[in-house]
Chains A and B, each alone.
Chain A
Amino acid sequence: MRMTTRQDLSSTIHETALLGTRRKSFTMPQVEGALGSLLSQLVESDRRAEANEEAKNAEKLLLEVAAVVSLYEACGQMPERISTDLPSVCESDASPVCPPRTSQFFAQMLEGQHADVLPEALRLAAVKGFRIFADLLPALLELGTKHTDLRDAITPVLGERGQWLARQNPAWEWAEAPNTVEESAVEEVWQTASRDKRMTLLRELRRTEPSRSRALLASTWEQEAPEDRSAFLRLFENNLGEADEALLEVALDDRRKEVRRVAFDLLTRLPSSALVRRMKERVRSLVEISSVRMSKRKNPLAATLPAECDRAMQRDGIKPKPPHGIGEKAWWLMQMLGAVPPAVWCEHLKLGAPELLELAKTHKFSDALLGGWAIATTRFRDTGWAEAFWSARTPLPQNQYGVSPSIVEAVLAVLPSSRCEELLISELESNPVALDDSVLTLAFLEQFHHPWSVRLTRIFWNKLRHKFTDKLSLTGAEWVILRAAREAAVFMAPSIGEEVARGWATDERLQDRARQFEQTFSLLSFRHNLQKSFEEES
Chain B
Amino acid sequence: MNRTPEQILALAPDAASAKSGRDLAAERKWVTLNREESRDENSELIWGECQGSGKTPYRTQVDTGDLAFKCTCPSRKFPCKHALGLFLLRASQPAAFTIGEPPAWVKEWQDARNTRAQKQAEKATKVNPEENAGVDPAVSVVGAAKRLAARERKVTAGLAELELWLCDIVRQGLASLQGKSADFWETAAARLVDAQAPGAARLVRLMGRQPTSGDGWERRLLHGISLLHLLVEAYKRQAELSLEQATDVRTLVGWTIDQAEVKKHAGVSDHWLVVGRVTEDEDRMQVERIWLWGAGCDRAALVLNFTPAGQSHAAQTSQSLFVPGDCFKGEVVFFHGAHPLRALVKERVEPDAAEIERLENAFLTEAGFAELTTAVAAYTAALARNPWIERFPMLLRGVVPQHCGDDCWVVRDAANHCLPLAKRFDGAWRLLAESGGRPIRLFGEWDGSTLLPLSIWSESRLHFLN
A residues apposed to B, CB below 8 Å: 13-14, 17-23, 57, 59-60, 62-64, 66-67, 70-71, 74-84, 86-90, 100-101, 104, 108, 113, 134-135, 137-138, 161-162, 164-165, 168-169, 498, 501-502, 521-522, 525-526, 529
Q: In the docked arrangement, what's the CA distance between A278 and B4, Å?
A: 68
Q: In the docked arrangement, what's the CA distance between A76 and B229, Å?
A: 21
Quote the shortest CB–CB distance from A285 to chain B (angstroms). 65
Main secondary structure of the interface of B (DSSP, over half): helix
Q: In the docked arrangement, what's the CA distance between A70 and B458, Å?
A: 38
Q: Name the B residues within 8 Å of A88 (CB-CB).
A: 437
Q: Name the B residues within 8 Å of A63 (CB-CB).
A: 166-167, 170, 225-226, 229-230
B433 contacts A134, C-beta separation under 8 Å: yes
B380 contacts A82, C-beta separation under 8 Å: no
Q: Which of B156-199 contact A (CB under 8 A)?
A: 163, 166-168, 170-176
Residue in A75, A165, A501 whose CB lies within 8 Å of B28: A501
Chain B residue at smallest Cβ distance from A169: B429
Q: In the docked arrangement, what's the CA distance between A78 and B373, Å?
A: 7
A17 contacts B429, C-beta separation under 8 Å: no
Quote the shortest CB–CB distance from A213 to chain B (angstroms). 33
Residue in B27, B92, B170, B223 whose CB lies within 8 Å of A62: B170
B418 contacts A79, C-beta separation under 8 Å: yes
Q: Name the A residues within 8 Å of B433 (CB-CB).
A: 134-135, 137-138, 161-162, 165
Identify 15 new A-B residue pairs, CB closer than 8 A, beyond the known A75-B383, A138-B433, A522-B23.
Answer: A21-B173, A22-B172, A57-B167, A66-B225, A81-B418, A86-B400, A89-B438, A101-B5, A113-B23, A135-B458, A135-B463, A161-B433, A165-B433, A169-B429, A521-B28
A104 contacts B410, C-beta separation under 8 Å: no
Quote the shortest CB–CB distance from B133 to chain A (angstroms). 49
Quote the shortest CB–CB distance from B436 to chain A (angstroms). 4
A113 contacts B22, C-beta separation under 8 Å: yes
B170 contacts A20, C-beta separation under 8 Å: yes
Q: In the docked arrangement, what's the CA distance between A81 and B383, Å?
A: 22
A82 contacts B400, C-beta separation under 8 Å: no
Given contacts A62-B170, A70-B223, contact A19 B175 (CB under 8 A): yes
Chain B residue at smallest Cβ distance from A82: B418
Q: In the docked arrangement, what's the CA distance between A14 and B227, Å?
A: 15
Given contacts A87-B402, A138-B429, contact A78 B463 (CB under 8 A): no
Given contacts A67-B230, A104-B5, A164-B437, contact A82 B412 (CB under 8 A): yes
- In the complex, the 10 A-B pairs of residues with the closest C-beta atoms, listed nearest first: A20-B173, A90-B436, A138-B429, A59-B167, A66-B226, A67-B226, A89-B437, A79-B417, A63-B229, A59-B170
Chain B residue at smallest Cβ distance from A164: B436
Q: Name the A residues within 8 Å of B209 (CB-CB).
A: none
Chain A residue at smallest Cβ distance from B233: A64
Chain B residue at smallest Cβ distance from A498: B28
Q: Is B218 an interface residue (CB 8 A)?
A: yes
B172 contacts A84, C-beta separation under 8 Å: no
B229 contacts A67, C-beta separation under 8 Å: yes
Quote the shortest CB–CB distance from A107 to chain B (angstroms). 8
Q: Name the A residues within 8 Å of B166 (CB-CB).
A: 59, 63
Q: Is B430 an interface residue (CB 8 A)?
A: yes
Quote the shortest CB–CB distance from A78 to chain B (angstroms). 6
A17 contacts B418, C-beta separation under 8 Å: no
Quote the shortest CB–CB distance from B325 to chain A (angstroms). 14
Q: Name the A residues within 8 Å of B226 (CB-CB).
A: 63-64, 66-67, 70
B400 contacts A19, C-beta separation under 8 Å: no
Quote the shortest CB–CB distance from B76 to chain A (angstroms). 24
Chain B residue at smallest Cβ distance from A13: B222
Given contacts A18-B174, A66-B222, contact A79 B434 (CB under 8 A): no
Quote the shortest CB–CB distance from B123 to chain A (angstroms). 42
Q: Which of B273-301 contact A (CB under 8 A)?
A: none
Q: In the docked arrangement, what's the CA distance between A88 and B436, Å?
A: 8
Residue from B223, B400, B436 having most chain A Cβ neighbours under 10 A? B436
Quote the shortest CB–CB distance from A398 to chain B (angstroms). 39
